[in-house]
Amino acid sequence: MFECITSARSFGRHIVMAGITAGLTLVGMSAALAGGCPDDKMKADARQPVTHAGKGVTDTVLAAIDLEKEPAGIKERQLRFRKLTIEPGGIVPWHSHADRPAIIYIAEGDVVEYASNCSVPIVHKAGDIRPETSGTSHWWQNTGSKTVILFVGDVLHDKTDHNM
């Protein structure tokens, strides 16, 4: 009888682990696919620059590292970690990542991205991660009724760049 109970517990653990693994795989897949431009809507210069002024956005640098002083020795570059808070109706103005790669984590709320290489708006939800590379020019808007919080890691070159 003891052997049977041990086997049942072992089998149960395997079932639980298989369920957890499957769940994590699905979550990982949905996070990877979430907040992206549909393949059939991607094209160069799908959206032209706009002149909306930034509004309702707080950009706080939480930490920064001068990369020239690090072993990588990357001149005139700074690795930053920032928190952006976008109030309802707030706008992050049009900007380019030609010289400033970034990774954005949407911590709270939903926000809409209008990207130069996507003919439709892209909705990002809490938990999404958005890489921003040299091919990315865009603007963002909080079209909802709740504040959006983003955490951003980027490599800054132009210290006068205030386009978030």
**CB-CB contact of 163 with 93 (8 Å):** yes
Cβ burial of 127 (10 Å; 0-12, 13-18, 19+) is middle
Domain that includes residue 16, residue range: 1-33
Cβ atoms of 137 and 97 within 8 Å: the answer is yes
Q: What is the CATH number of the domain that holds 95?
A: 2.60.120.10
Nearest Cα to 161, choosing from 101, 116, 88? 101
Q: Are residues 73 and 16 in the same domain?
A: no
- Tens digit of pLDDT for each residue in 30-83? 333 457 899 999 999 999 999 999 999 999 999 999 999 999 999 999 999 999
Together in a domain, 90 and 111: yes
pLDDT tens digits for range 26-45: 444 433 345 789 999 999 99
**What DSSP element (H or E) covers 18?**
helix 2-33
Of the chain, the end-to-end C-alpha distance in Å amounts to 66
- Taken as a whole, the chain contains a residue count of 164
Q: Is 4 inside any structural domain?
A: yes
- Both 28 and 44 in one domain: the answer is no
Looking at the structure, tell me whether residues 45 and 113 fall in a common domain: yes
Do 149 and 89 share a structural domain? yes
- Contact between 37 and 115 under an 8 Å Cβ cutoff? The reply is yes
Same domain, 92 and 17: no
- Helix H or strand E segment including 157: none
Q: Is the pLDDT of residue 25 over 50?
A: no
Same domain (yes/no): 89, 44: yes
Identify the residue whose tokens are 């040299």. Answer: 134
User: Does pLDDT of 24 surpass 80?
Assistant: no
Task: Give the pLDDT confidence score for residue 154 in this predicted structure.
Answer: 94
Distances (CA, A) of 92 to 37, 81, 89: 19, 17, 10
Verify that 86 and 150 share a domain, yes or no.
Answer: yes
pLDDT band of 158, cuts 50, 70, 90: confident
CA angle 107/114/116 to nearest 5° reads 125
Domain count, the chain: 2
Q: What is the mean pLDDT of residues 103-109?
A: 97
